[in-house]
Every structure is written in C-alpha cells, then in structure tokens.
A and B are shown apart, each in its own frame.
Chain A
C-alpha cells in the first residue's frame, strides 16, 4: 500500500515500475485534500504542477534515469523560495510574494527529480516552537493523547513539514533549523529530522531569520530517508558565501556503519530535576541500546549549556532585526500606506508582522542599539565562543553525543502562548548545536505514558553527519518504533 511506503521503498518501487510517480502523487494529493482541512499542514498545494512533474518523472524512469529522488513527492517548507509559487514564510507581509527564482536547496531536489506537492505551513519567519505564530493559522499535530482528542501542537517552526510527513501527506519534507526547528517538531511528530552542519546546505533563496544560525535539512519517516534527502539537498553553492566547499559523502551508506567501538558522550548538564521521568527513562534506554550495539558510553561536561538559550535570544533576534529590515513595503511584499515614508514603513511592519516577530525585532533592535551593543551583543558572542569551545573539547574525547531532543512531548494547542520564555524553553537542548554550527538529528525512540512520541537527539562533529546517521540508525533499529498517529492517510 502506498501509505506504507518509506521514501526508500517508494524509490525502489518506482525503479521497479511497480508504481508510477503519477499514482504516488495522486495518492498524496488525495491525502492532502482529505486531511489538510483538519491539520493545516500546507499553506499552498500545487497539484497541477506536481502531476506534471510526476508525469515527466515517469517518462524519465521509463528511459532508465536513476535520479536520486526521481518521482518522489515531497512537501517544501514555505521558507524556501520556489520560482513562480507563492512563498510566504508564514507571514502576512510576504503573502503576495511570488519568487522569480528557485532556492538552491529546492533546485537541487528538482535536479534529482523530486515532485513538489506544495508549501508547508510554519511559524512566522521560522520564529516559534509550536507553529502557533503562522499568519495562516496553527498546524495540528496528527498525534493525540490516548483517550483524549484535544488538539496538540506539532512543534515548530517546521510544524507543517513534520505534520505532513507524520500524517502520510508526503514522503519527506524540507525544513530549516535556527534553534531546533527541525529536531523539536520531528520529536513531537514521531519522525526523524536532521539539521546538518552549518554550511552543508546552501542558504541561498531561503528566507533569512538569523543568518549565522539558519540551516536547512530534511524531515522524513526514518533515518535512511533523511540521509537520501540530505544527499540531494547538500552541496557547495558559490551563491552562499558560508556554503562549505566540501564533498557530500554517501549519507545513506553511513547509516549502515554501526556503532561498534564508537564513544558516545552523555553531557551531564542536560540532566535537570525538572526533566520528566519518562524522558530521563527513554534517554537511559537509548544509551543502553547503543551500549548493547557495541558503543562505549562516556560521561562528559558542556559547562556553558545553561547559558545557551539566553545567548541565543540575543544573537538570533539581533540578526533577525537586521534581516527583517528589508520588509519595508517598498519593493515587494504587503504595503500599508501612511501619510509619509516613515509612516508607510511603520504601518507596513505593524500590520505585516505578528506579535512574536515584532517582539524579536524589538529585542534585536535594542541589543544592537548604541550603548547596549557591548553589554548584550558582544557579551553574547563571547559566550557563543565558550559554547563552541565546550563542544570542541568534548569532541576530542567522544565521537557523538546523545541527549533528549526536547524537554517535553507535544503540548496542547494554545498552551504556553501567554509566556514567551516558557515557550523558548522548548529549544533548550537543541539551541547549543546551532550556536556551535554542529550537526544534530532527532530520531523517535518511544512513546510516553500518554501515547505521544519522544525523540532522542544525536550531536556530532562539524561535517561528520555520517557518524550522526550511524548512531541515529542504531537507535532507530533498537527502538523498533512502529506507532502511528491517530490522524493518518490510509489506502
């Protein structure tokens, strides 16, 4: 059945001509039509375009083309510019924006034959951890608590991407991660997702939030599917000056390396008295699996962990306030008129940005303003240095780190909205990887007592996604995670 396909098994079936890309695409478009009104995972669905791409893929498959993603239907986070297809970043201010160009990451996917089903919902400008800040309404998590149908958040900011994959509305999706926006929603939705090393994927054509932290990556059903997708998304791009001119290895092959002889670090600062016992238990379980598979578990210290989140909330808003200065209503995007140019700017930005984005722009403006720059911004950059040094020191002793992905399972739609700082704590375990630029992956490890998925996070050395994939695959193999969400496409 099509709904049981992983990306890898769908690809094998396409190549064996057991199924056509048009059949796959029709299945997913049907699933979106049936379930998107409930989940709101897509902002834009591009059905006609998808079917045309699928027909072209079928023709290429018939002629023996073996493109890595030939005929594979994907969802694209609405932060990636797609030529001729509206790209909103989840914001009212970009609601009229139709990019005249294609982002490098999505161009790479098209080069390899992928089919784009549409643009996935997300927190506005990727700022949020629950997908509640989207101007196009919240996404609903396809998972619910056992015996309790109240809607839960899918996590954020890549909530639409994660919900679409979990509910069987796409075989995989692009996502981005500035402070946890791939890994936390993957954990909340019971799927896999990797934020690669900063510089692995080009940022060109990805709507910017915090340029020194933003990194694209995939979410998919399992670890191998993420490896296949990342292999296509990654690669050097002269159009992004921070893109790394480093060869893209065979990530899928790395999944099968095993963990025998690897040293896995357990950072003691990630443990706290507030951590729910179930998350502590699943963490210990994961370490036990890795030990059984031949890895050595080592206690390590990352002394500046507790300052990661507060440092992030200086650096990210500072960069956001600069990046989002371009939205002034003059050259593109929504415009609200005013009696003079300043009023036009102020009205455009007041009407166009939601409350969380406005808050972060103002924090960023403040910490960069004369008289406060050294006290906030320079201090944060120095602490960022210390956070990187923590990781560099630890990676001299261990090959990877394993931690919980998030401090909780998915929470209720509308919860935690009244308190920004409480919302920020969702990213407490994921933010340090962005500060240091290292790769991090979330893999589903089990369910909590309420039947909700919990993920474990694997962190690795810069440009060593291969070890991250090997460790994540070992966790996936041992976990045998087969639970399915309550809302899911069938047939």
Chain B
C-alpha cells in the first residue's frame, strides 16, 4: 500500500507536526519505503496467535489506592514555559 501526499498530510495532522508543502514528496517517499519494507510481515502465518503486548512476563502488582506524593506546585511548575501564580498559563483554547 502506498501513501499519497494527501495521506501523508493527514498523518502529519494527526501527529500534530507541521510539514511544509515542499517537504511532502521526500517524506512520502521515506514513509513509503519503510511501509513497503514492513509489508514482508504479511507472509507470516498468524492464525490463532495471541498478540504479545509487552516484554514483562508478570502479573501487574496491586497497590493501595492512596495519595503518596504531591503538594509540590513550585517544583512541578519549574519547567513551565509560561505560568500565572500556581497555574500553567496556556494559549486561549475556548473562544
């Protein structure tokens, strides 16, 4: 399956990455080369195989549902590009 430039533009939009129009042909070429190579996986017989989601061969542990951390706004906000008081300042989201 081959991605055309419109499809690549759609993927970039989903990924929230701006792509300039003149960069689209090269990007489409790169992505198609990778996807074309990945297509070899279609020859594997996967009937009845259970998908493996992770490498950890273990049951996830339980823990008490309680607050163990927090109340540290200054440290949390220490990397904020923009803030007002103890809050993140973000561009206007709702008109």
Interface on A for B, CB 8 Å cutoff? Answer: 96-98, 100-101, 198-199, 211-213, 238, 241-242, 244-245, 304, 307, 310-311, 313-314, 321, 325, 328-335, 337-338, 340-347, 349-350, 353, 358-359, 361-363, 365-366, 369, 376, 378-386, 388, 419-421, 434-437, 462
Query: Does the CB pair A383–B44 fall under 8 Å?
Result: yes
Main secondary structure of the interface of B (DSSP, over half): loop
Complex Cα gap A212–B78 (Å)? 29
Among A304, A335, A366, A434, contact of B81 (Cβ-Cβ < 8 Å) = A335
B34 to chain A, nearest CB (A): 6
Could you say which residues of chain A place their CB within 8 Å of the CB of B30? 359, 420
A433's closest neighbor in chain B, by CB?
A: B55
Interface status of B70 (Cβ within 8 A of chain A): no
A356 to chain B, nearest CB (A): 10
Query: Does the CB pair B52–A381 fall under 8 Å?
Result: yes
Could you say which residues of chain B place their CB within 8 Å of the CB of A332? 79-81
Query: Does the CB pair B44–A328 fall under 8 Å?
Result: no
Query: Does the CB pair A330–B60 fall under 8 Å?
Result: no
Complex Cα gap A488–B55 (Å)? 38
Interface on B for A, CB 8 Å cutoff? Answer: 3, 8, 11-12, 14-19, 27, 30-31, 33-35, 37-38, 40-42, 44, 46, 49-58, 60-61, 63, 72, 75-76, 78-82, 88, 90-93
B86 to chain A, nearest CB (A): 13
Among B55, B82, B90, contact of A434 (Cβ-Cβ < 8 Å) = B55
Could you say which residues of chain A place their CB within 8 Å of the CB of B11? 362, 365-366, 369
Complex Cα gap A338–B92 (Å)? 11
Complex Cα gap A479–B9 (Å)? 53
B93's closest neighbor in chain A, by CB?
A: A341
A-B contacts, 30 listed (Cβ < 8 Å): A100-B72, A100-B75, A100-B76, A198-B56, A211-B54, A212-B53, A212-B55, A238-B61, A241-B61, A304-B44, A314-B38, A328-B16, A329-B81, A332-B79, A333-B81, A338-B91, A346-B17, A347-B18, A349-B17, A353-B17, A363-B35, A365-B15, A366-B3, A366-B31, A369-B14, A379-B41, A382-B46, A384-B52, A385-B49, A462-B57
B40's closest neighbor in chain A, by CB?
A: A310
Complex Cα gap A199–B90 (Å)? 37
Query: Does the CB pair B91–A242 fall under 8 Å?
Result: no
Query: Does the CB pair B16–A345 fall under 8 Å?
Result: yes
Query: Does the CB pair A420–B15 fall under 8 Å?
Result: no
Could you say which residues of chain B place their CB within 8 Å of the CB of A213? 55
A16 to chain B, nearest CB (A): 41
B88's closest neighbor in chain A, by CB?
A: A331
CB-based closest 8 A-B pairs = A437-B55, A381-B51, A332-B79, A198-B55, A346-B18, A350-B18, A100-B75, A212-B54
Query: Does the CB pair A362–B79 fall under 8 Å?
Result: no
Query: Does the CB pair A341–B91 fall under 8 Å?
Result: yes
Query: Does the CB pair B56–A199 fall under 8 Å?
Result: yes
A434 to chain B, nearest CB (A): 7
Chain B CB within 10 Å, residue with most, of A245, A353, A383 = A383
Complex Cα gap A142–B3 (Å)? 41
Contact of A330 with B17 at beta-carbon distance under 8 Å, contacts A359-B31, A382-B49, A421-B34 already known: no
B67 to chain A, nearest CB (A): 14
Contact of A307 with B35 at beta-carbon distance under 8 Å, contacts A335-B81, A381-B51 already known: no
Known: A332-B79, A341-B92, A419-B33. 8 other contacts (CB 8 A): A96-B79, A97-B79, A310-B37, A325-B16, A382-B52, A383-B44, A386-B44, A462-B57
Could you say which residues of chain B place their CB within 8 Å of the CB of A376? 38
A64 to chain B, nearest CB (A): 35
Complex Cα gap A376–B12 (Å)? 18
Could you say which residues of chain A place their CB within 8 Å of the CB of B49? 382-383, 385-386
Among B34, B41, B51, B63, contact of A385 (Cβ-Cβ < 8 Å) = B51
Could you say which residues of chain B place their CB within 8 Å of the CB of A342? 16
B87 to chain A, nearest CB (A): 11
Chain B CB within 10 Å, residue with most, of A212, A434, A435 = A212
Query: Does the CB pair B55–A436 fall under 8 Å?
Result: yes
Complex Cα gap A421–B8 (Å)? 19
Could you say which residues of chain A place their CB within 8 Å of the CB of B42? 379
A99 to chain B, nearest CB (A): 8
B83 to chain A, nearest CB (A): 10
Query: Does the CB pair B41–A420 fall under 8 Å?
Result: no
Could you say which residues of chain A place their CB within 8 Å of the CB of B40? 307, 310
Query: Does the CB pair A435–B51 fall under 8 Å?
Result: no
Could you say which residues of chain B place their CB within 8 Å of the CB of A340? 91
B19's closest neighbor in chain A, by CB?
A: A350
A108 to chain B, nearest CB (A): 19
Among A238, A314, A380, A437, contact of B56 (Cβ-Cβ < 8 Å) = A437
Query: Does the CB pair B37–A421 fall under 8 Å?
Result: yes
Query: Does the CB pair B52–A307 fall under 8 Å?
Result: no
Could you say which residues of chain B place their CB within 8 Å of the CB of A345? 16
A383's closest neighbor in chain B, by CB?
A: B44
